[in-house]
């Protein structure tokens, strides 16, 4: 998902999304270890989405404290 979509979400929605992506990433890593994961490129994409999400979340938190 693009960062613009994440910027439209509330902080609670972002936290829920972070939890969901972390769980998904864990399951992908387990699947990769057990040779069940077919598309290993999804791990990289999920990590990038998580980083994007955490960046937007930190921007919102810093913006709330500055205002």
DSSP secondary structure of 43-61: HHHHHHHHHHHHHHHHHHH
Which pair of structure tokens corresponds to residue 38?
């077919």
pTM of this prediction? 0.87
What is the number of domains present in the chain?
A: 1
Q: What is the pLDDT of residue 67?
A: 62
Per residue in 4-57, pLDDT (tens digit) is: 999 999 999 999 999 999 999 999 999 999 999 999 999 999 999 999 999 999
More confident residue, 2 or 39: 39
Q: Which domain holds residue 9?
A: 3-66
Residue 40 sits in a domain whose CATH number is: 1.10.287.310
């Amino acid at each position: 998902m693009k960062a613009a979509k994440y910027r439209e979400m509330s902080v609670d929605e972002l936290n829920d999304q972070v939890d969901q992506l972390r769980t998904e990433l864990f399951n992908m890593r387990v699947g990769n270890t057990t040779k069940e994961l077919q598309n290993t490129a999804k791990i990289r994409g999920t990590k990038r989405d998580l980083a994007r999400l955490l960046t937007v979340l930190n921007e919102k938190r810093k913006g709330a404290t500055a205002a």
